Structure 1
């Protein structure tokens, strides 16, 4: 049984190397990577980080939306025994960066790079993903993620095996306490979720939110490595609804707010009250319908609505945090969707309240 997240990746590569592990969308086109390809890429990235001086007990700071590159570099840092701090790119992180003084940073965009640049001390290694407005020669230590592995020929050190080591660090606010999750905590919780929800390698999940959320690590990334299903990355936040409809995921992870957003998005597209079409909608959404009414309601209204939401293949809806509102619960129940609540204790129970907003919004 794997002791760390990178070891779980290697285990999946050995067991089902040719299976699709990850998809990401660029310029409207989906690209697929197998478990073997991911393991090889993470190994190369680990070697590249090691060559740049990253070692055990170092921390890699990432400021990015959900991007496959950010995930792979995080696993590479953990391969070397280091931890990964995740910050929300939509937040002003300058004060926190000044306090943390990171040495290794991955920043997605120009704005994130500028936030890092405002710190008192520029990190020796600053990588960027989106080069628009940037030039690798603009600052000392600044280089493109795509160039990280260039010229690296040596193999990385053996993959770290300390299950008690910190895997991810989250910050609720600038001056508040941090939440640290170890490999053991993440994998232990993931195995419980996999068993309870009967997750398998056949699942399709969508990673549609920033990584700077403890729920994303607990209930999506770690289960992905344990169950071996496919993790899909939308092209951008603005395209996540379209991308979800294209994919038809079998597993979604969300909060009360993200499910409510989907409900509102669907209701805004319903027929106007008083029309025949709206009366048909209300007739079809009766929760206790039986027989012919249930069958007709499904094919006339509920199935098309599920297709619009990208949930026609949904098997495992997960809910993290507070329960759905009564209205939202009734709406999704009428569609046959009953989100399963999953709440794992915080790494620091006495400080859990300070981290309630660090839960992911993936739907």
Structure 2
């Protein structure tokens, strides 16, 4: 009898990455579902309307998805690949796959078709989930998971008739996707550790408008996305060298200026940051990093 040694799967390299095991994720989820079952856990804008998942809804959906994945052949030896914008379906599937004991990996959602084909050939996940018909067309060889089919018959997410936020409700905000290296682990950890609601825009194009409606109290954004927001502010200021631009710069430099507060409040409202109280930042690497001016100002206000 011959013995064949199985080769280990290839080590993952960016733009693919493994979501490390989150040993307390389900414990934390059950905790929030028990003590705040009817509080909003997830919020997502779909087709122009806000939908919400309460903590008890999230726990039930994760348990149903875990059963559905098992029925579709997912096991402790399986690997689920996720790619796309961060939103409730993607997070719920990640938690369900981990609860079964399988591996979860993400693949950057901004790859060209040929680069994607090479990555899929190298990784060869047992199951995969992506959003949008265009993306699904390039993933046909990767055993796509149909979210609705795996979840099974259940009550749909509730439509939220109001778009404003109660004054005391904490809302974390993300407008990222699997192109953010390490981003999924950050989202899950910050969300489950805090027990705060987590909101997502309908699309990246509508992020600023949707952010204004959600009025988040905390940001979970990559440094690249924070810089994008800084560039957005820059594009809306008067051109350099003009008297209006000099007036803005003078006002920002004056700590006790009423005009300074007026300008900052205007910027906050423009970006949907009127309730902003926290900004997630990656652990310090020891290197000095020049922060966008608006970010430094907001962090100073929060402190």
4+ long deviations beyond 6 Å: 321-324
Instruction: Indicate if the aligned counterparts of 2:176 and 2:221 stay in contact, CA closer than 8 A.
Output: no
Instruction: Indicate if the aligned counterparts of 2:227 and 2:292 stay in contact, CA closer than 8 A.
Output: no
- For residue 31 of structure 1, report the CA deviation from its aligned partner: 0.9
Normalization by structure 1: what TM-score? 0.65
In the alignment, which residue of structure 2 is the partner of 1:312?
274
- For residue 324 of structure 1, report the CA deviation from its aligned partner: 7.8
In the alignment, which residue of structure 1 is the partner of 2:102?
82
- In structure 2, which of residues 184, 190, 196 is the aligned counterpart of residue 229 of structure 1? 196
Gaps (5+ residues) in structure 1?
128-143, 153-200, 341-363
Instruction: Indicate if the aligned counterparts of 2:230 and 2:292 stay in contact, CA closer than 8 A.
Output: no
CA-atom RMSD in angstroms: 2.7
- For residue 285 of structure 1, report the CA deviation from its aligned partner: 0.7
Whether 2:139 is the aligned partner of 1:116: answer yes
SS of the residue 1:148 aligns to = helix
Distance 1:58 1:339, change over 3 A: farther
In the alignment, which residue of structure 2 is the partner of 1:168?
none
In the alignment, which residue of structure 1 is the partner of 2:25?
5
Distance 1:296 1:66, change over 3 A: same
SS of the residue 2:206 aligns to = helix
Instruction: Indicate if the aligned counterparts of 2:110 and 2:179 stay in contact, CA closer than 8 A.
Output: no
Distance 1:31 1:273, change over 3 A: same
Instruction: Indicate if the aligned counterparts of 1:12 and 1:228 stay in contact, CA closer than 8 A.
Output: yes
Whether 2:263 is the aligned partner of 1:297: answer no
In the alignment, which residue of structure 2 is the partner of 1:257?
224
Question: C-alpha separation between the residues in 1 aligned to 2:104 and 2:131?
Answer: 15
Question: C-alpha separation between the residues in 1 aligned to 2:126 and 2:289?
Answer: 43
Question: C-alpha separation between the residues in 2 aligned to 1:205 and 1:50?
Answer: 31
Distance 1:283 1:112, change over 3 A: same
Distance 1:93 1:105, change over 3 A: same
Deviations 1:291-327 (A, max 9, x none): xx2x34202x11001111222221111223777854x
In the alignment, which residue of structure 2 is the partner of 1:62?
82
Whether 2:144 is the aligned partner of 1:126: answer yes
Normalization by structure 2: what TM-score? 0.77
- In structure 1, which of residues 137, 150, 153 is the aligned counterpart of residue 152 of structure 2? 150
Of 208-217 and 44-53, the range deviating more from structure 2:
208-217
Counting only pairs closer than 5 Å after superposition, residues 210-359 of structure 1 correspond to structure 2 as 210-211=177-178, 213-273=180-240, 277-286=244-253, 288-290=254-256, 293=257, 295-299=258-262, 301-320=263-282, 326=290, 328-333=291-296, 335-338=297-300
- For residue 88 of structure 1, report the CA deviation from its aligned partner: 1.5
Instruction: Indicate if the aligned counterparts of 1:208 and 1:240 stay in contact, CA closer than 8 A.
Output: yes
- Count of residues in Structure 1 that have an aligned counterpart in Structure 2: 263
Question: C-alpha separation between the residues in 1 aligned to 2:54 and 2:280?
Answer: 25
Distance 1:273 1:105, change over 3 A: closer
Gaps (5+ residues) in structure 2?
1-21, 155-167
Whether 2:129 is the aligned partner of 1:106: answer yes
Distance 1:223 1:255, change over 3 A: closer
